[in-house]
Structure 1
């Protein structure tokens, strides 16, 4: 069953005085099935960040539709959008977006506090999640007391504690060293195998090689896609690298 359906998305930005029009997305269509781990790649300016912002309901398309579990995002009233995001989407960003004056536990609890979840339920959800993400011994520390990898795992826990229909990750390994990045990607793989749907935007071939499918965006359209099938991470890594070379050297769509 498709959790996310993207149909003929187009996005045109117009400058303040209408002098210039920039087409960020031309015609993007794809779907994400429940339990998939999909990576989106593309050169700077290809439209992938615009696409993610629209999928996150942070921006609206010029035309086209985004359906999340059958709900058309364009039909959600502005005053209800924040609650819809909080109840249905999880977000992991490159720069963590943690509050330094909050403990690790309180950062993780934040979306549940905003949705007025009872404290007992918050604690019930936290215990298995903290154990799974290796945060059990860090819950009373503050973000400035922990490493980059631990901060990103805290951000992931904050995103996952709401039981989101889909986890949206924007360059989640971008601020991490290679060891911390590998740990985060293994964690993503683990939660995906347990059924969590993940869509990740990344420049990193290494990160994308952990996904089950890779979509390549070029000139505002889906240019190509790769499926893992029975490939190892190393084999998928090489396929991704070859595809990126084809895109940057002007290869044809396949």
Structure 2
């Protein structure tokens, strides 16, 4: 059974004035296997952010199902959602979402504190993650004292420390310079190779070229997908770039 199953997902928004309806998602269906690394791409307004919000249980679809390990997260009651997110999902955001009044370590510990974990348990979990992400030396610092790349690696540590079934990343390289972005993407690949399932929404062809599969969303529907197979990052980059050209111009065909 796939880790994540998205079935016939539809989302219609009603505008505040005039009562006009806007269809953000139309009959979206796909699956993600445990251990996969999937990137989702699409133009602004394509529906990919709406899709991510629904997968994160931050929004509910008009119709359809989202099954995580067989459980339909659409049906989870509002009062249970926060605990569900902490226990099953990890989040990495473009703007880091770190609290400046907390040290880097305390920011990483926050989801475990909310879950009632003991300090020894939190410390035991953090040590190998901090070493892997190369942030051991900044744990006592505050977010405003470290670089953007270090902030994002701290945010990744916060996402991983709960041992989530699925990590959802929203434009994780969007606020980073090219060197920090490349470093983060290599870390993501290492994390995925260790068995972590990752689903990333991105505008970046470079970021998508590190994934094992790339899904393209257009006009609220799955338009195309590319499997890495035996392709190198460079070959996948070119394939993604060619697909985006077709996506934006509407010309040509897709193999």
> Quick check: TM above 0.5?
yes
Q: Which moved more, 1:73-82 or 1:102-111?
A: 73-82
CA deviations over 1:108-157 (Å, ceiling 9, x no partner): 00000000011111010001010000011111000000000000000000
Distance 2:47 2:96 in 1: 22
> Over the residues paired in the alignment, what is the CA RMSD in angstroms?
1.0
CA distance in 1, matches of 2:66, 2:74: 8
Aligned residue in 2 for 1:116 = 116
C-alpha contact (below 8 Å) 2:46/2:219 kept by paired residues: yes
- Listed one character per residue, the Cα deviations across residues 72-113 of structure 1 (whole Å, up to 9, x for unaligned) are 012211000000001000000000000001001000000000
- Equivalent pair of 1:55/1:66 in contact (CA under 8 Å): yes
Q: CA deviation at 1:19?
A: 1.9
The yes-or-no answer on 1:166 pairing with 2:163 is no
TM-score, structure 1 length as denominator? 0.98
Instruction: Please name the residue that 1:80 is paired with.
Output: 80
Q: Are the equivalent residues in 1 in contact too, given 2:243–2:254 (CA < 8 A)?
A: no
Structure-2 separation of matches of 1:243 and 1:75: 35
1:16 CA displacement: 2.5
Structure 1: stretches of 5+ with no match in the other structure: none
Tell me what 2:234 maps to.
Answer: 234
SS in 1 for 2:167: strand
Match of 1:154 in 2: 154
In structure 2, distance between residues paired with 1:49 and 1:20: 20
- What is residue 134 of structure 1 aligned with on the other side? 134
Q: Give 1:33 shift.
A: 0.3
Secondary structure at the residue paired with 1:10?
strand
Residue 37 of structure 2 aligns with which residue? Answer: 37
Q: Which runs of 4+ in 1 moved over 3 A?
A: 251-254
- Residue 18 of structure 1: how far off its partner (Å): 5.4
Alpha-carbon distance, 1:27 to partner: 1.1
Aligned match of 1:249? 249
Q: 1:129 & 1:55 partners in 2: Cα distance?
A: 25
What TM-score comes out, normalization by structure 2 length? 0.98
> How many Å apart are 1:253 and its aligned residue?
6.4
**Offset of 1:225 from its aligned partner?**
0.2
Residue 193 of structure 1: aligned partner:
193
1-side partners of 2:18 and 2:254: how far apart?
33
Unaligned runs of 5+ residues in structure 2 are none
For 1:126 and 1:46, the matched residues in 2 are separated by 37
Asked if structure 1 preserves the Cα contact closer than 8 Å seen for 2:93 and 2:170, the reply is: yes
Distance 1:193 1:104 in 2: 25
Give deviations 1:24-48, integer Å, cap 9, x for gaps. Answer: 0011000000000000000000000
Match of 1:89 in 2: 89
SS across alignment from 2:136: coil
Q: Is the 8 A contact 1:223 1:253 kept in 2?
A: no
Do residues 67 (structure 1) and 71 (structure 2) align?
no
Provide the rounded CA distance (Å) in 1 between the counterparts of 2:57 and 2:254: 29
Find the aligned partners of 1:76 and 1:108 in 2 and give their Cα distance: 26
Structure 1 residue matching 2:222: 3-state secondary structure: strand
Q: Establish whether residue 9 from structure 1 lines up as the match of residue 13 from structure 2.
A: no
